[in-house]
Every structure is written in C-alpha cells, then in structure tokens.
Amino acid sequence: MQEHAKAIFREHGGQLRMSEAIDHGITPYMLYALRDRGVVELVSRGIYRLAELPPLSDPDLVTVSLRYPNAVVCLVSALAFHDITTQIPHEVSVAVPRDSRLPSLDHPPVRAHRFSKASYDAGIETHRIDGAAVKVYDREKTLVDCFKFRNRIGMDVVLEALRLHRERNGLNLGPLLGYSRSCRVEQVMRPYLEASL
C-alpha cells in the first residue's frame, strides 16, 4: 500500500493537499502512517510532500500556492521572483479576487490584497516551482501594481524596480500602458515612464 501511495504522490508532482490525497484513495490514517514512517513530510498544515524529493527551492511560494491555489504572487514578492528589486520580502504578498476569503498562514507570513476582477485576472503567469503551480503576475503587471500600491510599499522601491526592469529587460510600453489604464494609474505612471525612455 505504501508503494501505491508513493506512486500517487509521484503522479502529482510529489506533493498533495490532504483533500487531494483522500480524493485519490489515500486515507487520513494511511497519510499519517506515511508521515510517521518518514515517507512523506508535512510542509504546512494539510500539505504533504514525498520526503525523498530534494529540498524546496522556494518553500514560501510553494507553500502559499499549494494552500491557496487562487492566490497570485504580487507586489514586492513578485518583484523578488522576477529579480527586479534588492528588497528581501519578509512576507509573501498575494492578490485574491475581491469576494474571496483572505488567506492566512502561520508560516510563511502572508499579506493578502483584494483586487477587482479585471485587475486580478490581468497578467497572471503560472510557473512550475518544485512541481507546484505558482501563479505570479508578469513583470509589467507587477510594476503597475507597485505604482498602485506605492504608498504602502514606498516610492523608492517602485522606482528602483522600474530602473532595474528597464536595465535588465528593456521597457515594453504596450503592456505597461495597457495595465496602467485597467488599474487606473496611467496618470501617475506616465511621467516616470517618459523619464525612463
């Protein structure tokens, strides 16, 4: 039975939520027995992972994504993911639809922001990190969101990100302006974009 359970885990990238494990025929009793034998490890409450897998490369993003599949990594956490900031996030910033429940975890700390449907849906990329699907806003949408939340994260962080993005990736004005219109920060961003050209 242990080999069958391990095969189910492997089919799903090596990690499962308890509800997913139960849906695939692994009982809670079997899951706890696998944990006690060291076959699987508890990553976060309700999330199990094969112990034989290499250590997680980004455990915070993986944990948040597994616990809250609708959460999209945003703001400083997304800047760090895209390597366009020198800031080290002390929490995982995520966007959720305005009408959804806010995620909360003991570890890692999570800061959730409610976005309107149009703002939430725009610019989502899905990246595979250690077998988990992690949703992150693309670089341009992340920059626009940072302008929108500039009073919370600091204008110095936003301008540094804009400069690093321009230096490392070039400025693609089409998506930047499109996102800035839909997020209603075009008037705020335009002078900074013009100065960056």
Tens digit of each residue's pLDDT (9 = 90 or more) over 122-148: 999 999 988 889 999 999 999 999 999
Task: Report the percent of the chain where pLDDT is more than 90.
Answer: 66
Look up the pTM and report it. Answer: 0.83
CA distance 107 to 111: 12
CA distance 101 to 32: 28
CA distance 58 to 134: 10
Average pLDDT on 89-106 reads 88
Whether residues 25 and 102 share a domain: the answer is no
> Could you say which of 15, 31, 50 is where a domain stops?
50
User: Looking at this protein, which amino acid is placed at residue 11?
Assistant: E
Whether residues 38 and 116 share a domain: the answer is no
Which residues span the domain enclosing 29? 2-50
Whether residues 17 and 100 share a domain: the answer is no
Q: How confident is the model at residue 170 (pLDDT cuts 50, 70, 90)?
A: confident
106 pLDDT more than 80: no
Tens digit of each residue's pLDDT (9 = 90 or more) over 66-84: 888 899 999 999 999 999 9
Whether residues 32 and 124 share a domain: the answer is no
What angle (nearest 5°) sits at the alpha carbon of residue 172, between those of residues 166 and 173? 110
Average pLDDT on 161-180 reads 91
What was the pLDDT predicted at 135?
97
Whether residues 65 and 39 share a domain: the answer is no
Short-list 20, 103, 10, CA closest to 63 = 103
Pairing of β 92-97 and β 110-115? parallel
Number of domains observed in the structure of the chain: 2
Short-list 57, 46, 53, CA closest to 10 = 53
Distances (CA, A) of 166 to 38, 84, 161, 176: 47, 9, 8, 12
Whether residues 76 and 38 share a domain: the answer is no
Distances (CA, A) of 106 to 44, 65, 76, 136: 9, 14, 20, 21
> How far from the centroid of its chain's Cα atoms is residue 104's Cα?
14
